[in-house]
Amino acid sequence: MISKFSTSYAITHRGAVRQLNEDAHVEINNHNLWVVADGMGGHEAGEVASQLVVDVIRAKVEELPFEKLEVSHIVEAIEDANRQLNEYSAQYLGSKTAGSTVTALFLKNNKYYVLWVGDSRAYMLRDGQLKQISRDHSQVNDLIDEGIISVEEAKTHPLSNVITRAVGVTADVKVDVIQNEVKTGDIFLLCSDGLTGELSDEDICLSLEPSSIIDSGMALMHSSLVRGARDNVTCILIKYDEGYAGHKSETFNIQDEATIPLFSK
């Protein structure tokens, strides 16, 4: 077992427009794993999709002791959630599809692993510099790569909400994974696009300046709400410190309601 200490803080809000909060998240601190999911497919389908994703991941991970848990097990859990969502859609939704994005952080053996499908993001703040680790699986990102539009144009593009990959939408799902060394003081942010739809990377970096991740989380949520929060907003902040054993987490749901996601992008 690695002798590391991670502090995490999760916060969620339905936003200023949505009637329900259809984002889901889970903190599995004993296994150094944190997950955010954003459902899609309409009201009931979205709620089922994101909650199923986090539930399947939790169940799979908690079957194993931390010492035996590998990133491949998390990938398998996401693939299993994809299969279960396809079965659910076929059995209960007819022509509709229940799908979800997912982004996850796993810490082990002095490394971080970021896994994702869709446009929920993972960031890392190191030495005052903010870096987006994940890469959105979205139509506008493909257009940027092809040189058709600029990054600035992508922000207001009519296809900005169209994602190209999600859990539960196709028979098979490809999970992207990035790994690298983790350092003392690194702060990770996992978030749904309700946050990044309102705040720029510069705004996010400014909100992460407080030494307390609780203060940073509240600042992120406040900033997104005052800017209109057109979608559900969920984020998890994780701070990594070397030389301690154990984990501490805090969760705050502003509505004091179950955090269940949506799949209508």
Helix (H, G, I), strand (E, B) or coil at 162: coil
Angle at 261 between CA 172 and CA 135, to 5 degrees: 55
Q: Cα separation of 209 and 215, whole Å?
A: 9
Q: Cα separation of 80 and 235, whole Å?
A: 24
Mark out the alpha helices in the chain (DSSP H runs): 43-62, 71-88, 139-145, 151-155, 193-196, 201-207, 213-226
In this prediction, residue 61 carries a pLDDT of 97
Angle at 173 between CA 195 and CA 133, to 5 degrees: 40
pLDDT in tens, 204-243: 999 999 889 999 999 999 999 999 998 999 999 999 987 5
In this prediction, residue 151 carries a pLDDT of 75
Check if the beta carbon of residue 167 is closer than 8 Å to that of residue 101: yes
pLDDT in tens, 128-157: 999 999 999 988 887 877 888 777 777 777
Check if the beta carbon of residue 66 is closer than 8 Å to that of residue 246: no
pLDDT in tens, 44-102: 688 889 999 999 999 999 999 999 999 999 999 999 999 999 999 999 888 788 899 99
Q: Tally Cβ neighbours within 10 Å of residue 4.
A: 20
Q: Tally Cβ neighbours within 10 Å of residue 257.
A: 12
Question: Minimal CA–CA distance to 103: which of 177, 156, 29?
Answer: 177
Check if the beta carbon of residue 225 is closer than 8 Å to that of residue 14: no
Residue scoring higher pLDDT (20 or 159)? 20
pLDDT at 113 over 90: yes
In this prediction, residue 256 carries a pLDDT of 36
Check if the beta carbon of residue 15 is closer than 8 Å to that of residue 259: no
In this prediction, residue 55 carries a pLDDT of 98
In this prediction, residue 260 carries a pLDDT of 29
Average pLDDT over every residue of 6-15:
93
pLDDT in tens, 154-207: 777 777 678 999 999 999 999 999 999 999 999 999 999 999 999 999 999 999
Q: Which residues contact 29 (CB under 8 A, 6 or more apart)?
A: 6, 8, 247, 248, 249
pTM: 0.89
In this prediction, residue 143 carries a pLDDT of 83
The string of DSSP codes covering 197-260 is: TT--HHHHHHHT-SS-HHHHHHHHHHHHHHTT--S-EEEEEEEEEES--EEEEEEEETT-S--B
In this prediction, residue 148 carries a pLDDT of 85
Q: Tally Cβ neighbours within 10 Å of residue 48.
A: 25
Helix then strand count (H, E) for the chain reads 7, 11
